[in-house]
Structure 1
Amino acid sequence: MSNCAKRKFLTLLSGIAVLLLISPVQAKVIPFSVAALDDGSLIGGMVVDNAGERAFLLKVDLQGNEVWNRTYAEDCSSAIWTVEKVQGGYALGGVSGCGPHNAWVAKVDEDGKIIWERIYGAENQADDGVTAVLPDGSGFLAAMTVASCSGCKTKDTWIVKFDGNGNELWRRVFDFGEYDSIKMLRRTGDGGVIAVGAVSDSLTNLNYDVLVIKLDAQGRVEWKGFFDLGFQDCAWDAAETAGGYTVVGESWGCGSCANASSPVAKAFVIRLNHSGSQDALFYIEKGRATSAWSVLDDGKTAIAGLSANGTGNYVWIMRGNETILAPRSDFFIFPLIYGLVRMAETKDGYLLVSSACSGNCIWLGKFGFDGNLISERTYIIPEIQGNESEDTIKVCPHAGDSSAIPSPSYNYGAENTVPSNFNLPFYAVLTLVIASALFFVLSRL
């Protein structure tokens, strides 16, 4: 998942452990990405149940009917944070591994079967990940947040160019502070890339600034910008618009907001010219906390996000001065991971995906270019299991430059439901121990 810090990811896992303690049978599902296709759409994310944490892909047709789904098992856990259509299949990125996560990038065919995959990350370094992929000719670009060597105390951002067969053509390393992370890559009209995310001088606090980088077609920096809007700022998406670029994200005014007065977080919109200079900045506040996760431009800018207030959690889409709320209030917010809402453009509007049903279902909404809701569908995990197939992620030895020879595979097994001999007290205690351990680690960071 695209997080703004290792602290956030550990807190997410801790929160999920507590959720499983409360409801050990019902799976939780987090859709992190959606790609619009000519014949439907593809959703990627993570399923969390008593079998563990597994990456998933869900293909649906233009009417929203499930075509196929597939999970990807690792020895401990895996998640898909980003997915895009590329020549010959789909490119995906995320995490896999035990304890410290590795950055995982792969190409799958039209049915979701793995064609090739690569693992990046240094040994014993916590929570590396591939945060964005972008089609590029017959291959694609992958942005990843990694510790580039064993024992390194900093997180760098890499952008790696792969050909269609998984060969690394070039790599660009960005090191602006102790923590550097690109959350999204978008193609620009000149053939280059606009990259956005977060940067910090220190890994030990939550004070992050917005990072924006303009790259040429070979990944070379043309200009970069840093924007300090509050205590913790992170850009989640960007779009090329008339006169420049629009960057959206979230800005928190506090590090620990439990006792803070409302609002504690607000969405931001930064408008830059083509040279990277700021033309405008405004905020979106629709409750105690508001975040903007996605932005698209079809001649008119559309921004999507999530807001929480006293009556529930709402997904919204804004076009111009008009804001449309999705007609439900049960969108789910995992601990300290505010959102997620991802948006993709179709021929006649937008697709939005998020976690709803208190975290137990995927919500897919289709909006017209006027911002009005056309249709919505939800996908419950037991329904998804009907046609499920599973691939195994190959566990690779670690290396500084990462692409090592795969070792034997491991598999979760086929069960996604609670077995008949499920021991609730044992799993409750185990879950509590896991949650406590994660919170202890978190408190030591």
Structure 2
Amino acid sequence: MPGKIGCIDAVFPVEWQNDDSEENMKRSAGADYLGVLACLLVLGSCVVDVAGAPCETDDNCPAGQYCSAAGTCALGEGGGRDAGSRDEGTTDGGAQDAETPDEGADANDFDGGDGGRDGGDAGRDAGDGGRDGGDAGACKDECPAKGSAECSAGGVHSCGDLDQDGCLEWGAVTPCAFGCESGKCKACQPDCAVKAKECGNDGCGGSCGDCTKPPAPACVDTKTLRTYNSAGSCSGATSKCTYGYTDSRCLYQCTAGKCADNSLTRAFVTPVDDRYLSVSAGASGETFACGTTVLGPFEGRAGLLTKFDPAGQVEWHRVLGDDKDDEFNSVAATPDGGAVVAGSTASFGVSGRDGWVAKFKSDGAVEWQYRFGGPNDDDFRAVETTADGGYVLAGGTNSWGTGRSDLWIVKLKSNGAIAWERVYGGTDDDAAAAVAWTSDGGLVAAGRTASFGAGYKDVYVIKVKADGAIDWQKAYGGGGDDEAGGIVQTADHGYAVVGSTDSFDPGKGREVFGLRLDAVGALTWASTAGGSGDDEGFAIAQTADQGFAVAGSTASFGAGSYDAWVLRYKTDGQLTGQRAYGGTAADRVYDLALLPSGDAVLAGESSSFGPGNPDAWVMRLNPDGSIGPDCPAGFASDTEAATAKPAVTVTAATGTAGSSYSSFGATAAPAESFMNIATDPCAQNP
């Protein structure tokens, strides 16, 4: 009768023969092969199924099937009917004898000795060929019901007789993109639970997941300073930006339900002259800028200090002074949320100008203020906090030392009392412009020296111990006028210095001068950058990638006679970016502070905006140096400064540490408060 061969019925009709002739076996095998081939060509896949074909013995069935007691082929290794079962009355499962010697039936045959296919007793039961559920051919269901489905790890699987052995088993797991529920793949991700993060789009309006790496900063957590992108939403007048778990203020403004650009510009705009000379960032996102102003009831210039909140809004202004010129040259944020400022005063000194320091609380109240000095002019140019809770001041003094002026360092306790003070230098003009507390508990200062070096003035760097004793001191420069404006200790315990030079490109004005030193002051590399005009570097900070950001001023590039200038270097001194900022008049920056977000805050003066000439000016840049769209076209422009690696002469300085004896005393400079004297120059000058 016709059999079922391949995947389709009766592809080739086969008449099953009740004999074991070689011709019949070839015909059966050939028909099965052609049926499989036809299925592959027609359907692309095939399951051979000739179950139900008539048989007398297992030999009449294809490989992998046996001849059942019903006389039809069945899938499995049944070990059922053999040739012996065709003998009348033979039910003992006896093996079919294979005594034909030319067929090679010996010890290597199927049964290991007698040539029989079933090993002698492979009958299904004691003699009746019945299917016993406990024998070797039995199977068990692995799943509950055909067509049922269950969730499994990563997806869903279904129940069915997949191998057609008469028993049910689980199929392969089908992955689910958005999870499995009640035996089915979810169509999409459900809405996020309360406070869960949501990002992307899965067809349901968003998918839950980790969204901790937004592409561009626009919102900041005012406690952790972590930034978030504009995918966050703003909550109306509170200017809060909601992103994931964090609600935080928008740094710049809230526009169309989203936080706008981080960058900003702020100016202390008055009809009189004002300038910021220093900037420092606090631990909670606040920023302090200090300088000088003519504003107020004072007869001369006065010290100016402004506190900005993390969004760049003014919290308060404070102006200190009296009947003569007083100024704040440097500021450092303190751990208590306040600030310490240092500069000079002519109003409270013993004679001429004296060094001046004041400590402010977080609300702007003056905690204490002192003057330091001798019979001649003395001033502080830099201040930093120290690891022991005190402060270090650096500048120049004409009252003590061996030269016309000497580099001056004063170490203060937390209450402003003097811990120690020292002077350093040679027989000529020496002074500090920057100071930093070092990881070994000592100090490093940078400035200028005319007492040592190769030229008229050289960059002067001196490293001292915690008690002021000299570790090492060196001069760096060429044959002209070189001086430092800023210094920072690097992550490898070396130092990076920036300043200006006219030694290496005569006739082209001053250039930005960068130096990289190791822990003992040996020169690692030197670099110059500039154009045809005067260009200067005043401040340097190490960036997260171990490179450096430099702030200064340029007369070679930009829209005005002077522009603020920011340069970025790799750790090896290669210049990787440079940009000028400003309007059509003179704009300069003198200091730079890097925030944990990677943004940079710069402080200086601007004559391009507002009625003053100049006005005190701060500017916040995005990590890539970009500025907000409110600023007019041409406000920020890339520059193309020429760079060089100059041959710098390094000279060991031989000066010794001397003592100074300040006429130390408290001052009572009145503090005037001016609120909201600030504007956004870009927004006011579109």
Fold shared by both chains (TM-score > 0.5): yes
Q: Report the CA distance between 1:51 and its aligned residue.
A: 4.4
Question: Which of 467, 482, 495 does residue 233 from structure 1 map onto?
Answer: 482
Whether the 8 Å CA contact 1:318–1:371 is kept in 2: the answer is: no
The equivalent residue for 2:397 is 146
SS of corresponding position for 1:309: coil
Residue 278 (1) aligns with residue 538 (2) = no
In structure 2, the CA distance between the partners of 1:323 and 1:287, relative to structure 1 (3 Å rule), is farther
The equivalent residue for 2:321 is 73
Residue 182 (1) aligns with residue 432 (2) = yes
How far apart are the structure 2 equivalents of 1:139 and 1:406? 17
Question: Which of 183, 193, 216 does residue 465 from structure 2 map onto?
Answer: 216
Q: Which amino acid aligns with 1:402?
A: S
How far apart are the structure 2 equivalents of 1:221 and 1:368? 40
Q: Report the CA distance between 1:56 and its aligned residue.
A: 0.6
Q: Report the CA distance between 1:361 and its aligned residue.
A: 2.1
Q: Which amino acid aligns with 1:93?
A: A
SS of corresponding position for 1:222: strand
Q: Which amino acid aligns with 1:363?
A: W
Using the TM superposition, name which of 318-327 and 86-95 deviates more: 318-327
Residue 353 (1) aligns with residue 614 (2) = no
The equivalent residue for 2:451 is 201
In structure 2, the CA distance between the partners of 1:282 and 1:261, relative to structure 1 (3 Å rule), is closer
How far apart are the structure 2 equivalents of 1:375 and 1:145? 43
Q: Report the CA distance between 1:406 and its aligned residue.
A: 5.1
Q: Which amino acid aligns with 2:319?
A: T
Q: Report the CA distance between 1:276 and its aligned residue.
A: 0.8
**1:17-416 → structure 2 map (5 Å cutoff):** 26-37=271-282, 38-48=284-294, 51-88=299-336, 89-97=338-346, 100-123=352-375, 125-126=376-377, 128-136=378-386, 137-149=388-400, 154-201=404-451, 207-241=456-490, 244-252=494-502, 263-298=508-543, 299-309=546-556, 311-312=559-560, 313-320=562-569, 321-330=575-584, 332=586, 340-349=589-598, 350-358=600-608, 359-373=613-627, 401-405=661-665
Q: Report the CA distance between 1:357 and its aligned residue.
A: 2.6
How far apart are the structure 1 equivalents of 2:330 and 2:383? 6
Deviation string 1:335-379 (CA, Å, 9 cap, x unpaired) is xxxx542101111121111101344322222223333336899xx
SS of corresponding position for 2:555: strand
Q: Which amino acid aligns with 1:228?
A: G
Q: Which amino acid aligns with 1:319?
A: R
Q: Report the CA distance between 1:404 and its aligned residue.
A: 4.2
Task: Considering fraction of residues, name the structure with more strand.
Answer: 1
The equivalent residue for 1:422 is none
Deviation string 1:218-249 (CA, Å, 9 cap, x unpaired) is 33221111013342211011123365221110
Whether the 8 Å CA contact 1:84–1:90 is kept in 2: the answer is: yes
SS of corresponding position for 2:294: strand
Whether the 8 Å CA contact 1:26–1:360 is kept in 2: the answer is: no
How far apart are the structure 1 equivalents of 2:466 and 2:344? 26
SS of corresponding position for 1:373: coil
Q: Report the CA distance between 1:212 and its aligned residue.
A: 0.6
How far apart are the structure 2 equivalents of 1:109 and 1:345? 22
Q: Report the CA distance between 1:301 and its aligned residue.
A: 1.4
Q: Report the CA distance between 1:210 and its aligned residue.
A: 0.7
The equivalent residue for 2:648 is none
Q: Percent identity among equivalent residues? A: 25
Q: Which amino acid aligns with 1:218?
A: D
Q: Report the CA distance between 1:319 and its aligned residue.
A: 1.8
Whether the 8 Å CA contact 2:589–2:602 is kept in 1: the answer is: no
In structure 2, the CA distance between the partners of 1:78 and 1:376, relative to structure 1 (3 Å rule), is farther
Larger radius of gyration: 2
Q: Which amino acid aligns with 2:529?
A: I
Q: Report the CA distance between 1:152 and its aligned residue.
A: 8.2
Q: Report the CA distance between 1:283 and its aligned residue.
A: 0.4
Whether the 8 Å CA contact 2:318–2:672 is kept in 1: the answer is: no
Deviation string 1:237-273 (CA, Å, 9 cap, x unpaired) is 112336522111011359xxxxx98521111111112
Q: How many residues align?
A: 353
Whether the 8 Å CA contact 1:184–1:238 is kept in 2: the answer is: yes
Structure 2 residues not aligned, in runs of 5+ = 1-269, 570-574, 632-659, 675-686
Task: Considering fraction of residues, name the structure with more helix.
Answer: 1
CA RMSD of aligned residues (A): 3.2
Q: Report the CA distance between 1:141 and its aligned residue.
A: 0.9
Q: Which structure would you say has the larger RCO, counting Cα contacts within 8 Å and 6 or more residues apart?
A: 1
How far apart are the structure 1 equivalents of 2:500 and 2:418? 33
How far apart are the structure 1 equivalents of 2:354 and 2:305? 19
Whether the 8 Å CA contact 2:405–2:430 is kept in 1: the answer is: yes
Q: Which amino acid aligns with 1:57?
A: L
Q: Which amino acid aligns with 1:31?
A: Y
Q: Which amino acid aligns with 1:280?
A: W
Q: Which amino acid aligns with 1:232?
A: D
How far apart are the structure 2 equivalents of 1:319 and 1:405? 42
How far apart are the structure 1 equivalents of 2:402 and 2:438? 33
Using the TM superposition, name which of 79-88 and 182-191 deviates more: 182-191
Q: Which amino acid aligns with 1:304?
A: A
Q: Which amino acid aligns with 2:364?
A: G
In structure 2, the CA distance between the partners of 1:39 and 1:160, relative to structure 1 (3 Å rule), is same
Whether the 8 Å CA contact 1:131–1:143 is kept in 2: the answer is: yes
Runs of 4 or more consecutive aligned structure 1 residues displaced over 4 Å after TM superposition: 374-377, 404-407, 409-415
Q: Which amino acid aligns with 2:432?
A: I
Q: Which amino acid aligns with 2:594?
A: E
TM-score normalized by structure 1?
Answer: 0.71
How far apart are the structure 2 equivalents of 1:145 and 1:307? 26
How far apart are the structure 2 equivalents of 1:91 and 1:46? 15
